[in-house]
Amino acid sequence: MATSKEYAYYIKGSKLALAQKDLVFSSGQTLTQPGLNDLGIAGRLLWKSPKESIADGLEIQYVHSPNYFINETDKVDTAIDTYLSLDGLLKIIDSASDNYSASPQSLSDGKYIVLKKAGKFNGLHKVKDAGVGYITLYTKFSGSATVEVAFEEAPELYYNVDVLNDEDDELDIPRYLATAVVYYVKAKYAEDTGEMELKEYFMREFRALTEKFHAGKQKGPFRVQSFSMLT
């Protein structure tokens, strides 16, 4: 007979942690339904790291909200082939010795790049320094400082990147949702000035537009069930 197991989770920053309820003391005594913060006889929490591995035991559904946009996907460099650690930061290297501080990349301190097909380094990175054959990033990396490590495949480096960091940035959303965002901002302004009725009005308009937008993306036929006594 399969035994019942209980799990819990918590989120801290961008990390999700799992905990498993331990109902058995070291003496072999079995406990009954302890609370999340209950302590055992020895003063140890009953929620512990999972005691066994379960293949495909966790499914996470989420929505990704990007904080950057690649303006031109054809502005890509594929010459980067190795990496190492430089004073605790990630340094990516091009053995062909392209000059990344010159055109077309024109990278310098404070600019951004996006790496794809770069394994654990996929994503957005801020540039610290660039020159002939290398780019040093603000990304922390504690690997070898002397031995260059080869990427498993040729990374794609996008250098025409726009990062969302001020009011002048444009949101990459449909025009229909842009109107919904305006209603949301107005609702927040009304909340700040204490006009709660006005705030609720704008929030209703915001929800109506977003719900209508998502409903319009549903696929398949819609069915309506009726009864003989209803007209």
pLDDT in tens, 102-124: 999 999 999 999 999 999 999 99
Domain count, the chain: 3
Domain that holds residue 41: 7-48
- pLDDT of 227 higher than 70: no
How far lies 193's CA from each of 108, 122, 167, 188, 225, in Å? 43, 43, 21, 9, 46
186 and 118 share one domain: no
What would the mean pLDDT of 194-222 be, rounded to a whole number?
82
What percent of the chain lies above the pLDDT cut of 70? 79
Q: Minimal CA–CA distance to 186: which of 173, 175, 197?
A: 197
Instruction: Name the average pLDDT for the chain.
Output: 82
pLDDT in tens, 129-147: 999 999 999 999 998 999 9
190 and 159 share one domain: no
187 and 134 share one domain: no
Task: Answer yes or no: is 60 within a domain.
Answer: no
pLDDT of residue 226: 47
**Phi and psi dihedrals of 187, rounded to 5?**
-65, -40
122 and 148 share one domain: yes
